[in-house]
Amino acid sequence: MRPNSSIIPVDEETLIDNKDESEDEVLKCDRRLLVIVPQMTNQQLEGWGATVSCRPIAGLYELPPVYCTTIVCTRELPETLETLWLRLLSRGSMQRKAIADLLKLETNHPLRPVALQQL
């Protein structure tokens, strides 16, 4: 994952300024609902019509375009700093591992105090 990338790309072009943009341009914006779950079975994913995301990150599934929804399965996410916040929302061994990863961060890392406060 690139240093400044995110699971769902956000940039200036997706921001909406109702004063300056026409209604057609607003409809082109990529707005997605994220559903964050610890895990889902293949049967559940198939039932929703979910497919593996085209983004190169394990644990992401896209629902049909009409729903504009991405499912994030926290147990399938790679164990990286970029996914730490989401892995903290998991449960069981995945959450314990994420907490251990958080505690291993340097004390001056900006994520550490904020995340510890939320726990």
Residue 110 in domain:
yes
User: What separation in angstroms does the CA of 16 have from each of 5, 9, 65, 68, 70?
Assistant: 20, 15, 20, 17, 21
- The fraction of the chain above a pLDDT of 70, given in percent, is 75
pLDDT tens string 10-62: 554 444 444 455 444 445 446 789 999 999 999 999 999 999 999 989 999 99
Q: Report the amino acid identity of residue 37.
A: V
Nearest to 71 by CA among 82, 60, 83: 60
Q: Strand 69-73 vs strand 33-37: parallel, antiparallel, or unpaired?
A: parallel
- In 15-110 the beta strands, taken as DSSP E runs, fall at 33-37, 51-52, 60-62, 69-73
pLDDT at position 5: 54
Residue 5 in domain:
no
Residue 94 in domain:
yes
Residue 78 has pLDDT above 50, yes or no: yes
Single pTM value for the model: 0.69
Mean pLDDT over 115-119 rounds to 86
Residue 4 in domain:
no
Mean pLDDT over 57-85 rounds to 94
**Residue pair 54/9 in contact by the 8 Å Cβ criterion:** no
Residue 7 in domain:
no
Number of independent structural domains in the chain: 1
Residue 57 in domain:
yes
Residue 24 in domain:
yes
Residue 90 has pLDDT above 70, yes or no: yes
- The fraction of the chain above a pLDDT of 90, given in percent, is 62
Structural domain harbouring 32: 12-118
Residue 59 in domain:
yes
Residue 76 has pLDDT above 60, yes or no: yes
Which two structure tokens, joined as six digits, stand for 97?
């591992």
